[in-house]
Structure 1
Amino acid sequence: MKGSLARETVTNWLAHADIEINGSAACDMQVHNDVVFDAVMRDGSLGLGESYVAGDWDCPRLDQFFDRVIRAGLERQIPTARAVAAKLLAHLRNPQSEHRAWDIGRTHYDLGNALFVEMLGPSMAYSCGYWRDAQDLDQAQTAKLERICLKLGLQPGMRFLDIGCGWGSLMRHAARHHGVSCVGLTVSEQQARLGEQLCAGLDVRFALEDYRGHQGQYDRIASVGMFEHVGHRNYDAFFSAARRCLRPDGLMLLHTIGSLARVEHLDPWIDKYIFPNGMLPAMGHIADATIDRFVVEDLENFGAYYDPTLMAWEENFSKAWPTFAHAYPPHFERMWRYYLLSCAGAFRARNLQLWQWVLSPTGVIGGYVRP
């Protein structure tokens, strides 16, 4: 589909979400180059994102644009050959195999610690904050970390494993405020390097290790914002490893973004440019994989809180960008803002969820009570 027909199709498509081409509203699409229309018709969301990064279109409020597009269900209305191919490929290979598990560390988490320090703030927590009583990002992240520790019932002297520990935000909080001994697994060398500095003097150890090979026995296990990189072909391996490492009377907390439907691949643009080989689980995926391994003691959804978290990250990033722009290619700023704001819109539209599951091997005697 070429030229005026592509423009007419995309214009009518966006009208269902009350978005105008070159309109005056903050959510409207400002087109600088008509190639964007052919890109969308040819490549769907991948073409939309690539044409934005190339400067072919703008929008004063990308978060509002995506909130409207997703609420209207428009992202499902233009199937492309690339999308079909991605779905087929997900059936034929294991994108999150033990060998490929290190790809995400090199391509995303090793982008540079300075970037994440500025964007994430003092907590260095790269996952959804808990905003119920919070006034800013730091309060929301501290509340989230403490909520996890309370849900796990951490006590001094316990051994605690953090699968996908990032820069150690949860371990640092748990060791400092709850007196536990922590081991964290990461596939990012830069995360481990900075994390060790941030956790200096605490009973915290970082291990550059995939979850599948880890050995040890722990009283408590958490995995926060890492399960999105596991993939449906590996859910059994993930929960088998966790069950093997957890003491019979222990607890595990899984904190993960979730999908409303069973899908086997990420949005094509996010997969190509931000989180390669990722996959968002559906609730049924997790339920299936925990059968005969765990009792589901508690399940909480606070996905709406990812919207303010992402908006705060974008604000921090935009303010700090001039200080580290020299370290990145010219297109990086637009790419990164598109990532953060498109995801904020998706969570605002409630198309994406954030779940915290509390699991036990055989069931808490007398029942589990959420603190």
Structure 2
Amino acid sequence: MPQIAPIPLAQLTTLRAGGIPARMVEARTRDELIDALREIWAAGDPWLVIGGGSNLLVGDEPFEGTVVLVRTRGIERLPAPEGRVRLRVEAGHDWDDLVAYAVAEGLAGIEAMSGIPGSAGAAPIQNVGAYGQEIVETLVEVELLDEATGEVEVVPASDLGLGFRTSVLKHHYGEVPRRSGVIVSITLELREVGHGEVPVGGVQLRQALRLEPDAAVSLRWIRDTVLATRAVKGMVLDDADPDTHSAGSFFQNAIVSASFARTLPPECPRWPLAPSVAPVTVIPLAAFDGVVPPPVSTQPDVKVSAAWLIEHAGVGKGFRLPRSRAALSTKHALALTNRGGATAAELAELARYIQQRVQSEFGLLLQPEPVLVGVEL
């Protein structure tokens, strides 16, 4: 097992918080990754896998277990249907490097997710997405090292329970994953569109890019525009900018019932999760008695803007508690940031305050998006 001297987790996470683990392993090949995890699991040690460290808030106390750094890299082309390209990507490969590769090769499907920090192997765990694109749309399968069996299994995307920022593998706050394992590689299927201008599908992406419905642009233009948009919001990592010392959006946009959404102020941004389609009632002719039952009204759940709720609960951009080194980003109300030397306890204190303000004002408890290890809200 390629063990190295433990490094403070504050140096390995984008929130820049976290204590020193008891042990640390750096896996640079898939065999090293598999062998290390099997050995750790056989010993029964607590374990934590870190790729880019962009979706973690780790506690200040030492982690009494083994941290596995996934440093595997590589992209392999696989056979695919005509007009498509399948890419098998090692788990430790940088996500944005993968997007850059796809755009350079004229492959469409992930360009709107440019600039998202983290590794390829972490992307399916929370079904990463941005501007209307999600990995569920292009993910074919993953190679999963299953903790229960110690074997590598090819798992179709349809078996991962991919939903809004979730999967069966995600460690939600206060819950355990429905399936425990580590992704070794992911396989995506992308469309070959080349380097010319192509129509932009998806209303949310067109709105974000300020494009007309019939607009056509290149993948390169989309990537450059998304990167510039994210940079304005402090959502592209930059060592010199404390607004980027974050885990991205700390709170999830809330999914609520249509009836609850109506209790929120009408100006609160919201998006129905599915179209409201009138059900079709089929009555066999032999059973028809001249009476048609009234239709049953079904309304889809609604996604509402957590950023709007936070700001309208009186917690504005740049807010910080007295004497705290944690603050909301000055550019983006969803990002909790480390302004320099903030502890995990300070970040958690700010997160709790925001939760309490939103709940008091709107009756809604926001849920954290990052994985919390050794931290309570």
TM interval, short-chain normalised = under 0.3
Query: Bigger relative contact order, structure 1 or 2, given CA contacts below 8 A and separation 6+?
Result: 1
Q: Which has the higher strand share?
A: 2
What's the TM-score, normalizing by structure 1?
A: 0.24
Between structure 1 and structure 2, the one with the greater Rg is: 2
What's the TM-score, normalizing by structure 2?
A: 0.23
Q: Which has the higher helix share?
A: 1
